[in-house]
C-alpha cells in the first residue's frame, strides 16, 4: 500500500514520497547519533566534572553543541547516501548497475548490514550501555557533591537512554531478520 495507489497520477506526491522517505532515514540516524552525543557529554560531565566545567567556560555551550551537531548531520547524510540513491531511482544509478545487477544486490546487502543495522541498532546499544554504566558509577562517586539539579538531569538522561534501548530491541530483531532473509 502506498501513496501512488491512492493517487496514481499525482506527480507531486510521486516526487514527495522518495524525498520524505530519504529524509526520514536521515532523521532517524541523526536522532540515534544525537542520543549518543548527549550521553557522551553527560558521561564526560559526570566522570570528569572539573575538566568538563573548564571546557564549558573556555569554549561555551554553543561551541560544544555545534561540535556535536555538525558532525552528526554530516555523518548521517553520508551513511544514508546509498539509501538516498536507491530511493531516488535516478537514471545514472540505474545505468551504472544495469549490467551488474548481482553487484548492485551485494552492495545493497552490505550497506544494509553496515547501515542501519550496525550504525543505528547494534553499536549504539553497546555504546549507550557502556556510557550509562560509567555515568552510574561516576554518579555514585560524586553523589555527595552533586546538586539536586545534577541528580535530576542524570535520572532524566538515564531514563531517555533506557527507553531508547528498549525501543531499539524490536528494531534490531527486525533488522537482523531482514538481513537474514535476503536471498543469496
Is-contact 181 112, C-beta < 8 A? no
**Non-local CB neighbours of 16 within 8 Å, separated by 6+ positions:** 3
Each residue's pLDDT expressed in tens, for the chain with a length of 184 residues:
466 677 777 777 777 777 787 888 899 999 999 989 988 998 888 888 889 999 999 999 999 999 999 999 999 999 988 777 776 665 566 666 666 666 766 777 777 778 888 888 889 988 988 998 888 787 777 655 556 776 777 778 778 878 888 888 888 888 778 777 766 6
Q: What is the pLDDT of residue 1?
A: 47
Cα–Cα distance measured from residue 11 to residue 138, given in angstroms and rounded to the nearest whole number: 56
Q: What is the pLDDT of residue 75?
A: 95
Q: What is the pLDDT of residue 89?
A: 62
Cα–Cα distance measured from residue 141 to residue 46, given in angstroms and rounded to the nearest whole number: 9
**Non-local CB neighbours of 178 within 8 Å, separated by 6+ positions:** 112
Is-contact 130 170, C-beta < 8 A? no
Q: Which three cell numbers stand for residue 88?
A: 531516488
CA-to-CA separations, 81 to 76, 87, 113, in angstroms, rounded: 9, 10, 15
Amino acid at each position: 500500500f502506498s501513496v501512488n495507489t491512492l493517487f496514481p497520477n499525482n506527480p507531486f506526491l510521486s516526487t514527495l514520497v522518495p524525498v520524505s522517505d530519504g529524509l526520514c532515514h536521515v532523521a532517524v540516524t541523526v536522532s540515534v547519533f544525537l542520543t549518543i552525543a548527549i550521553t557522551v557529554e553527560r558521561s564526560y560531565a559526570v566522570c570528569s566534572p572539573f575538566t568538563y566545567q573548564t571546557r564549558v567556560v573556555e569554549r561555551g555551550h554553543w561551541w560544544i553543541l555545534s561540535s556535536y551537531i555538525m558532525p552528526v548531520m554530516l555523518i548521517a547524510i553520508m551513511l544514508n547516501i546509498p539509501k538516498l540513491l536507491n530511493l531516488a531511482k535516478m537514471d545514472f544509478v540505474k545505468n551504472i548497475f544495469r549490467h551488474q545487477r548481482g553487484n548492485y544486490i551485494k552492495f545493497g546487502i552490505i550497506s544494509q548490514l553496515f547501515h542501519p543495522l550496525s550504525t543505528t541498532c547494534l553499536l549504539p546499544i553497546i555504546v549507550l550501555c557502556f556510557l550509562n554504566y560509567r555515568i552510574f558509577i561516576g554518579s555514585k562517586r560524586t553523589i555527595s557533591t552533586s546538586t539536586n539539579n545534577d541528580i535530576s538531569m542524570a535520572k532524566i538522561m538515564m531514563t531517555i537512554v533506557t527507553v531508547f534501548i528498549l525501543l531499539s530491541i524490536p528494531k534490531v530483531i527486525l533488522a537482523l531478520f531482514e538481513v537474514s532473509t535476503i536471498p543469496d
